[in-house]
Amino acid sequence: MAEMDYRREINEALLAGREALRYLNEAADCLNSAGNWGIVDLLGGGLLTTFIKRSKMKDADELVQQARSALKRFQKELTDVENIPEFRIETGDFLTFADYFFDGIVADWLVQSKINDSRRQVENAIIKVNYIMEQLEKM
């Protein structure tokens, strides 16, 4: 592969990685906000608090879906670059729980646990993408 083509492939992978990171970071922000609202909900925040928390969860879910697409593009672009470690990210099932209908301490705790799990998954994805991006930038 010619040096110019190889450099182009690296740049395409970097672009795709930056896009994935943007969505992942925005999702992490939404999940942090949802988690904060979830704590208020656990302390007896009521229906308005549940509504705000669910709104943040919905926003995070949309961003995670966009991140998934961007991560697929990133993974595809990485196949064109040699000497990059294998890249796999499991985003899992994010943010699905009927907490409006079962509003109570147990449901709120379960939702909070789901938010925290999703937040950890997103944070792990950010770490992995950042690592790969560092490797690409060194090339």
pLDDT tier, 99 (very low <50, low <70, confident <90, very high otherwise): very low
36-45, 49-58, 66-75, 89-98, range with the lowest pLDDT? 89-98
Helices 47-78 and 3-42, packing angle to 10 deg: 160
Q: How confident is the model at residue 106 (pLDDT cuts 50, 70, 90)?
A: low
Residue 52: name the closest of 66, 33, 68 by CA: 33
The amino acid present at 127, given as its one-letter code, is I
Q: How confident is the model at residue 95 (pLDDT cuts 50, 70, 90)?
A: very low
User: Angle at CA 5, nearest 5°, toward 83 and 73?
Assistant: 65
Q: Which band of pLDDT confidence, cut at 50, 70 and 90, is reported for residue 24?
A: very high
